[in-house]
Amino acid sequence: MKTSQRLLALAAAALLPLAALTAPNLLQQGWSDADRAFFYGTPQGTAMYPAYIMQALEAADGLPFMSRENLEQYGVLYPEKDLKVPNNPWGWPIGFVADTLPALGGLKFSVTCAACHTGEVRHQGKRLLIEGGQSVTDIGRMGGDWMRNFLATDADPARRERLFKRAVELGHPRDQIAADWAQVMTRTRNEATRGSHLAATTPGPGRVDAVASIATAVFADGLNNPRNLFPADAPQSYPPLWDIWHFDWVQSNASAHQPMLRNVTEAMGTGPNHFVHPDGTLKPEPDRWRSSYRIQNLYEIEQRLQSLAPPPWPVDVLGAIDTRRARAGRKLFDNHCAGCHGIRQLKGAAAPTWHLPVVPLAKIGTDPMLVLAMSGRRYDASVLGIDRPLSALEGLNIVAGAVKAQAYADAGITAEQAPRYDGFGRKAELNPDTCGYRPRPLMGIWATPPFLHNGSVPTVDDLLSETRPVRFASGGNDYDPVRMGLAAKGGPGALDLDTRLRGNSNAGHWFTDDTTRPGRIGPALSAKERIALIEYLKAATRDNYPTKTTGYPTKPVNCPQAPGWAAQWLKTLGLPASN
């Protein structure tokens, strides 16, 4: 085939719908088909809408909203045809399930961990499935579209009647459909109002403002307090899940320590949470903290993740590793990167535990909005009897702790069993105001573009360079194996990511000879050195990764507590103040 014909064929393959591409290549990540099916289809108990109504919903063009033809525009992935995924009777994408929750009125549309933590890389028409990787699903656009279609359906009697008829045919009780639809519309109108207030920086594919979504669901909706609404201006990429069970602290800013408390906090972000009555008065205990969260499932998911390995570089799809350059790259990595990204095995830990240090904002210089959203904003929890404003993490520690305790009680988990369910016997401890970001070990990092915690840098080569693109196409799965990251052309549904917008900064983590540049962490790297580092990252495994044993460290440095410190920080960086 001539070069021009081959390029045309590759371009055409990149535009084919997912169903028309080759079946995905599975990498050796330690999971069986049973593990994968369990991860894809095991619900957390995060009920959203009646499943029959969701399946019956029409899109604007008349297609079923949940059809493959409609959903592929959002970057969703589908399980292989021969993989039997539980709780997925209608062939929904990976991570979308119908959960049976009798206490909440039967079968519910729900999202699992896999919806955000299953990734894919595409190259020359071939697909690589990345278990536990970064989804490129545009959850924000999808959610906005299904809410718009709920509203349009409610405004069109004929369309609403079609939905009712279809939902009943699927199995929804006929005598409940009108009342359940009214509840759907109440939630939709509330979330549409919240969304218009929160709108700030578009997250796009593979990103979410987790702080805004969780804090809004807990402190604004859960406490029925509109004063607790803040703009969604701290988007972050979904972090990969391999090796996280080793980490002493997780989340980009090292804000979570105990696995179960972290998982309950994440689950609360999907809502609905109602800790108060509609008139604003507190619900009595224990109903105040009662939820639908499936503690046993959350525990089992956490257990499966312990066997999930980083994805190995697939030489048959992305090309051979230059071993000579990889050896040179290992030396460069030891000199320039291992100080933050190396494995620090904690001496004497009950389970293999890696310490992840927190690099202060002042040193790393990367986008500050996640830290400021977590620690610089204050929430009113006075209805709970708390007489001072709380940071997001202080408030979540209190509320999530109470929700978790009630979920344990409802599940019959005893005090003796609780440490096992908590995860490794760890205390329910959050660092409320960590003022920096934690670097993780980088095995398998090749499969997780774009880079930095907010996904603002498309390739590792850009990350190691002295200049980076101001704008790029973020989304799609097309891969550049030479520069290690997103291919320049992007893909269907890609976001034109502008790094000049709040929360999108690509600054910091600089390798430069300019010693005055904020966020400088090392000297400028030549093109040859960057290539060598990339080759090492392709080859990085536990067998060749820099590892040392260390004692228990001190806690990270906290952010200032003085009022207005966050606004002052933004002013120092030349960014507009955040409310």
**Is 238's pLDDT higher than 50?**
yes
The pLDDT assigned to 105 comes to 73
Torsion of CA 163, 165, 166, 168, to 10 degrees: 120
Q: Which distant-in-sequence residues (6+ apart) come within 8 Å of 306 by Cβ? A: 245
Q: Report the 3 state secondary structure along 44-113.
A: CCCEEEEHHHHHHCECCCCCECCCHHHHHHHCCCCCCCCCCCCCCCCCCCCCEEEEEEHHHCEEEEEECH
The pLDDT assigned to 197 comes to 60
In whole angstroms, give the CA distance from residue 357 to residue 252.
11
Mean pLDDT to the nearest integer, 253-263: 88
Q: How do residues 344-376 score in pLDDT, each as one tens digit?
A: 999 988 788 999 989 988 899 999 999 989 888
**Is 573's pLDDT higher than 70?**
no
β pairing state of 126-131 and 47-50: unpaired
**Is 103's pLDDT higher than 80?**
no
The pLDDT assigned to 101 comes to 79
In whole angstroms, give the CA distance from residue 74 to residue 554.
43
User: Quick one: what percent of the chain has pLDDT higher than 70?
Assistant: 90
The pLDDT assigned to 434 comes to 77
**Is 440's pLDDT higher than 50?**
yes
Residue 515: Cβ-neighbour burial (10 angstroms; 0-12, 13-18, 19+): exposed
The residue extents of the domains of the chain are 36-114+139-202, 319-373+435-572
The pLDDT assigned to 7 comes to 30
The pLDDT assigned to 190 comes to 85
**Is 570's pLDDT higher than 50?**
yes
Mean pLDDT to the nearest integer, 63-73: 96
Take residue 5 and report the two structure tokens written for it.
Answer: 């014909």
Q: How do residues 391-400 score in pLDDT, each as one tens digit?
A: 898 899 899 9
In whole angstroms, give the CA distance from residue 117 to residue 87.
18
Count of all residues that appear for the chain in the document: 579
**Is 421's pLDDT higher than 60?**
yes
**Residue 47 pLDDT class (50, 70, 90 cuts):** confident
The pLDDT assigned to 488 comes to 86
Among 2-16, 128-142, 516-530, where is mean pLDDT lowest? 2-16
**Is 409's pLDDT higher than 60?**
yes
**Residue 439 pLDDT class (50, 70, 90 cuts):** very high
**Is 17's pLDDT higher than 60?**
no
Between 445 and 103, the more confident residue is 445
Take residue 480 and report the two structure tokens written for it.
Answer: 């550049």
CA 296 distance to own-chain centroid: 22
Residue 157: Cβ-neighbour burial (10 angstroms; 0-12, 13-18, 19+): exposed
**Is 436's pLDDT higher than 80?**
yes
- For residue 554, the tally of other CB atoms under 10 A from its CB is 5
- Three-state DSSP state, 25: strand
* pTM for this predicted structure: 0.92
The overall average pLDDT reported for the chain is 89
Mean pLDDT to the nearest integer, 368-386: 92
Q: How do residues 159-209 score in pLDDT, each as one tens digit?
A: 999 999 999 999 999 999 999 999 999 999 988 877 656 668 999 999 999
Residues 400, 264 contacting (CB under 8 angstroms)? yes
Q: How do residues 460-490 score in pLDDT, each as one tens digit?
A: 999 999 999 999 999 878 999 999 999 987 7
**Is 565's pLDDT higher than 70?**
no
